[in-house]
Amino acid sequence: MSHVTLPLSYSDQERFVKNLAIRPDKPDACWEWRGGRTATGGRFWLQGETRYPHIVAWLLANGDIPVGFQVLRTCKNRYCCRVSHMKLGHATRTTDENRKERFFAKTRPGAKRSHMDTPCLEWTGGHDIGGYGVTRFDGKQKKAHQVVWFFEHGVWIPRPGLIMHACDNPPCVNIEHLKLGDPGKNVKDRDQKGRQAQGPTHGSRTKPESVPRGVKNGRAKLKEFDVIQIRLTFAANANAHGIYEGLARRYRVDASTIRDAVTSKLWPRAKIEDYPTIKPIPLSELSFGHRKGEDSPFAKISDATVRAIQLEYDQAPKKWGMISKLARQFDISPSHVHRIVNGEAR
């Protein structure tokens, strides 16, 4: 953080004071910062950089901070900017040194990879689903190897750039094992080392229990009982004209879903022999005609709602904006309302 040039302009001083919660009714109360905040304290944009508000408050009241000293809060309130609640203390260690010590306290020596000259330094804190270390830094969640890169180079890597592990060990934070790359280089490196998940190495093969199947799949439209009944009905009436459409109307799904269920593209693990009591659906119970209006399996609104839309539109003194208003009111698209009022839909 660079030096603050004093005195501050009137506009900067006015902008700073506006973000202070001053309590005249409580003479000893903290003056809390109401501007930008993080978990570690307030933030104030000044002279092209983000500053700590309590430091700015001290500079406005007392001038420059002597070398070797830092501003401490006696009230222990990280958002307080009241100068009477501050004092100067000896800056025995810099903030960066403290953060580095806390960071590397959560690391341990790792194994040495065959293609590397030095062993890994593994992160022992939290990890994400990919195995990469994660930590809180400046009030935000960051990946541990990104924080190490920041400690070494003093900059964050802007997107689409990323930091690659030469050791192929996600929790490693050894700066010697990190190199700058981008998504293209990362994919090329993965393919060259044969680490792409495909074929027998894909997660659905190596950990089949982790893949949601059947009714556990959030996109499932049929139950296992329905699939068995569909297959039995089709087997008994394979030559019936429109059998796919008839079953689709009964289960309120698309005909392609019925076809995939019959051919075992969906629910391949569902076996007819496991359900000896299920019977096929008689053809007399299937509807092969085209349903219209609210009887259609694809109907989004009822006939009564259609009439209400038409009536409200006809009685409106001004038509301007009515299409959008009715669409929001009945939770349908404006194009749907347009077709209804023009008699193109029901």
The CATH number of whichever domain residue 126 belongs to comes to: 3.90.75
208, part of any domain: no
| pLDDT tens-digit map of 275-294 | 889 999 988 888 766 555 66
Predicted TM-score of the model (pTM)? 0.40
198, part of any domain: no
Mean pLDDT of 98-114: 88
Q: Do 88 and 104 lie in a common domain?
A: no
Other CB atoms within a 10 A radius of the CB of residue 173 amount to 29
63, part of any domain: yes
> Among the three residues 62, 92, 122, which one is the final residue of a domain in this structure?
92
Q: In the numeric block, which tokens belong to residue 155?
A: 């900059």
Total domains in the fold of the chain: 4
Strands in the chain per DSSP E:
20-21, 32-33, 36-38, 41-46, 49-51, 69-73, 86-90, 107-109, 121-123, 126-127, 133-137, 140-143, 162-165, 178-181
Which stretch of 156-160, 212-216, 292-296 has the lowest confidence by average pLDDT?
292-296
Q: Do 160 and 226 lie in a common domain?
A: no
Q: Residue 130 and residue 120: Cα distance in Å, rounded? A: 17
Which stretch of 1-10, 162-171, 322-331 has the lowest confidence by average pLDDT?
1-10
Q: Do 105 and 151 lie in a common domain?
A: yes
Q: Residue 278 and residue 232: Cα distance in Å, rounded? A: 8
Mean pLDDT of 200-206: 74
Q: Do 106 and 176 lie in a common domain?
A: yes
Q: Do 110 and 186 lie in a common domain?
A: yes
23, part of any domain: yes
Mean pLDDT of 90-98: 66
The more confident residue out of 110 and 216 is 110
Q: Tell me the pLDDT band of 46, cut-offs 50, 70 and 90.
A: confident
Q: Do 66 and 138 lie in a common domain?
A: no
214, part of any domain: no
Q: Do 85 and 123 lie in a common domain?
A: no
Other CB atoms within a 10 A radius of the CB of residue 134 amount to 17
Q: Which domain holds residue 53?
A: 10-92
Torsion of CA 156, 160, 165, 166, to 10 degrees: -120
Q: Do 83 and 129 lie in a common domain?
A: no
pLDDT over threshold 60, residue 3:
no
What does residue 302 show for φ and ψ, rounded to 5 degrees? Answer: -85, 170
Q: Do 321 and 263 lie in a common domain?
A: no
> Among the three residues 92, 123, 157, which one is the final residue of a domain in this structure?
92
241, part of any domain: yes
Q: Do 152 and 74 lie in a common domain?
A: no
Q: Tell me the pLDDT band of 300, cut-offs 50, 70 and 90.
A: confident
> Among the three residues 173, 192, 211, which one is the final residue of a domain in this structure?
192
